[in-house]
Structure 1
Amino acid sequence: MSASNNNSEQRKTTILFLCTGNSCRSQMAEGWTRHLKGERIEPYSAGIEKHGLNPLAVRVMAEAGVDISAQQSKLIDELPSMPFDYVVTLCDHAHESCPYFPGRIIHQGFPDPPHLAKDTSSEEAILQAYRSVRDLILDFVEETLPDSLTN
């Protein structure tokens, strides 16, 4: 009985993933974190602006077995009022525009999938741009959000 009490008393580490429009990178990071580390981390995502959930981000995440279709693009002000243990900025604009958060701020920039895909003409090349960023974010979540952050 005390083991279950200990589990219920342990608070999950809260992480906010922040990027410009909360349409691709931060949505992918939230999805990967919930999928891979949801038992220890409560992930959130938001943007400096609100661009809507990008359907190609949803598509490439689904290819990898992670459903982010129910996530919504949101501004920081739309998040629950709570302290975040970590704020991870995923692009330079978000890092430079990040409001004050009392938690630890980590900057890990990733390329913007729509920007990578803008000069491509085939659907496969466009999807490959999104997949490459998806996989970079997966590596970050697996390797840089280790248990040491959540202890």
Structure 2
Amino acid sequence: MKSNPNFLFPKLASTIEELRQLSISEERKKVLRPLVLYIQRCVQESKTCNLNFICTHNSRRSQFGQIWAKVASEYFGISANCFSGGMEVTAFNERAVESLKRSGFKISSKGKGNPIYAVSFSENSDPIVCFSKLYDDRVNHVENFAAVMTCDHAEENCPFIPGAEVRIPLHYKDPKEFDGTDLEEKKYDERSMQIASEMFHVFSEAEKQG
């Protein structure tokens, strides 16, 4: 398997070049290691890996996780189904959507309240369908998946996730605390780029060791 950046929208490809230069601490790499090992095992067994990114509201961090993990899997040629869900249904936050647009994704939506978004990263790939939902929603894979816990609240309040093969805590700070401030765009972009850089690290390591 070899990485393939050429299928991406040009602006997104440029963003990925930037994020791959971001440093990840050794401490954080240890936190990411269980996810690397899970994907590596799937590769070695010639199985599609199923990842479900779970946060309380499925509105920001878990959506970032699903989207960037899917792009990373395509970039490195690793078969993966990437999902996201929450403990409550709200909506895919518009600030997070705008941050992804700034990174180079092309995004359309339909519906109100809890819109369904089509997030495109390539002319030749199906868009990623995103909306806020429970982690066990029928559109998510119901068994044999890695539950990636992107916030400590969901980690603490959801002690058992049916169908999960492994449970991987991978907590991120919530950009929500900067809503309505002068730092809003900056902090959403920082969080998106952090999650993106870590997903690219994870799939890169899995590709090298698979």
Q: Say whether 1:48 aligns with 2:81.
A: no
Q: Say whether 1:138 aligns with 2:196.
A: yes
Q: Say whether 1:21 aligns with 2:82.
A: no
Residue of structure 2 aligned with 1:100, choices 140, 161, 164 = 161
Mean alpha-carbon deviation: is it higher for 97-106 or for 45-54? 97-106
**Structure 1 residues 87 and 67, CA gap change in structure 2 (3 angstroms):** farther
Write out per-residue CA displacement over residues 5-43 of structure 1, whole angstroms, 9 at most, x where no aligned residue.
xxxxx4310000000100010101111111221442110
> How much is the aligned-residue C-alpha RMSD, in angstroms?
2.4
Q: Which residue of 1 aligns with 2:69?
A: 33
**Counterpart Cα distance in 1 of 2:152 and 2:134:** 17
Where 1:78 maps in the other structure, the secondary structure is coil
Q: How far off its partner does 1:132 sit?
A: 0.9
Where 1:103 maps in the other structure, the secondary structure is strand
Q: Which residue of 1 aligns with 2:143?
A: 83
**Counterpart Cα distance in 2 of 1:75 and 1:57:** 18
Unaligned runs of 5+ in 1: 1-9
Unaligned runs of 5+ in 2: 1-45, 108-116, 119-129
Residue of structure 2 aligned with 1:110, choices 159, 172, 181 = 172
Q: How far off its partner does 1:142 sit?
A: 1.2
Q: Say whether 1:65 aligns with 2:65.
A: no
Write out per-residue CA displacement over residues 65-88 of structure 1, whole angstroms, 9 at most, x where no aligned residue.
234632111012313452133110
8 Å CA contact 2:53–2:84 kept in 1: the answer is: yes
**Counterpart Cα distance in 1 of 2:67 and 2:106:** 7
8 Å CA contact 1:16–1:84 kept in 2: the answer is: no
Mean alpha-carbon deviation: is it higher for 70-79 or for 21-30? 70-79
Identity %: 26
Where 2:136 maps in the other structure, the secondary structure is helix
8 Å CA contact 2:147–2:161 kept in 1: the answer is: no
**Structure 1 residues 67 and 21, CA gap change in structure 2 (3 angstroms):** farther
**Counterpart Cα distance in 2 of 1:84 and 1:62:** 32
Give the number of aligned pairs: 139
TM-score relative to the length of structure 2: 0.59
